[in-house]
C-alpha cells in the first residue's frame, strides 16, 4: 500500500534503531492527518480488520497490539489530529528523493517532521509473543519539508570556537 504526503516521525531508515543498547529494526512512524488522509486511513483500518478476521480468527486485539493508533491519545507533539502508523523492517527500506535518486543519511534530506510517500505492507503475527497486526516499511520518498520535530537540527559553526594553542588555551 502506498501512502502519499505523510509526515515522518522517529525515522530509522538509514540505521537500525537501538533499544536498551541493542540494535533492533529499521523503521519509522508515519502520521496521517485525519482530515486530509481520511480515505487511506479507512483503507488501512479495513485491511487491518480483514487481517484480524482471516489470519487471527477475529479475536479482539487491544490498541497496543495494532500498528495503527489514534494520535490524539499520544503525548507526542504533532500527533494530535492524526493517526500514527508504526512500520519497521529487518531490511533497510529504500530511501529516495523526489526525483527517485537514492538518498543517504549524509544528504540530510530525511528528518523527523518532513513529508514522504511511503510503501508499507501489513502482516499478522500469531506466535509465542502473541497476536498482533504489524506493518513493514518497504520504502520512503521525500516529498517536502515540514517543521522538524525536536530541536536536533542545529550544528555548531567554527565561529563559535576559539583558536587553541599547544597548551589547550585560546590565543
Rounded to 10 degrees, the C-alpha dihedral 17/55/46/142 comes to 30
| Sign of the four-CA dihedral 48, 53, 56, 59 | positive
Residue 125 cell numbers, joined: 503475527
Residue 67 DSSP label: S
Q: For cell 530511501, name the residue.
A: 95
Evaluate if residue 169 carries a pLDDT over 70.
no
| Cα 41 from Cα 23, distance rounded (Å) | 30
Residue 99 and residue 142 in contact, taking contact as beta carbons nearer than 8 Å: no
| Global model pTM greater than 0.95 | no
Considering the domain delimited by 2-149, tell me its CATH architecture.
Beta Barrel (2.40)
The whole-number pLDDT of residue 15 equals: 95
Residue 163 DSSP label: -
Long-range CB contact pairs, 153-158, < 8 A, 24+? 153/111
How does pLDDT run across 139-166, given as a tens digit for each residue? 999 999 999 987 555 667 788 888 887 7
How does pLDDT run across 16-73, given as a tens digit for each residue? 998 888 889 999 999 999 999 999 999 999 999 999 999 999 999 999 999 999 999 9
Residue 129 contacts by C-beta under 8 Å, 6 or more apart in sequence? Answer: none
Q: Which residues of 119-138 are buried (b: 16+ CB within 10 A; e: fewer)?
A: bbebebeeeeeeebbbbbbb
Rounded to 10 degrees, the C-alpha dihedral 73/79/84/87 comes to -120
The whole-number pLDDT of residue 156 equals: 74
Q: Is 166 helix (H, G, I), strand (E, B) or coil?
A: coil
| Cα 63 from Cα 50, distance rounded (Å) | 16
* For residues 83-90, average pLDDT: 97
How does pLDDT run across 49-62, given as a tens digit for each residue? 999 999 999 999 99
Amino acid at each position: 500500500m502506498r501512502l502519499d504526503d505523510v509526515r515522518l516521525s522517529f525515522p530509522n531508515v538509514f540505521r537500525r534503531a537501538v533499544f536498551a543498547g541493542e540494535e533492533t529494526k529499521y523503521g519509522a512512524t508515519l502520521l496521517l492527518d485525519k482530515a486530509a488522509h481520511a480515505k487511506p486511513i479507512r483503507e488501512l483500518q479495513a485491511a487491518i480488520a480483514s487481517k484480524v478476521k482471516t489470519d487471527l480468527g477475529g479475536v479482539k486485539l487491544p490498541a497496543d497490539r495494532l500498528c495503527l493508533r489514534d494520535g490524539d491519545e499520544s503525548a507526542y507533539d504533532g500527533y494530535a489530529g492524526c493517526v500514527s502508523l508504526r512500520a519497521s523492517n529487518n531490511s533497510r527500506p529504500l530511501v529516495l528523493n523526489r526525483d527517485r535518486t537514492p538518498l543517504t543519511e549524509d544528504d540530510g534530506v530525511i528528518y523527523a517532521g518532513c513529508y514522504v510517500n511511503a510503501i508499507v505492507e501489513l502482516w499478522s503475527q500469531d506466535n509465542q509473543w502473541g497476536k498482533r497486526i504489524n506493518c513493514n516499511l518497504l520504502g520512503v520518498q521525500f516529498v517536502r519539508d515540514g517543521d522538524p520535530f525536536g530541536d536536533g537540527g542545529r550544528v555548531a559553526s567554527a565561529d563559535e570556537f576559539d583558536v587553541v594553542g599547544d597548551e589547550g588555551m585560546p590565543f
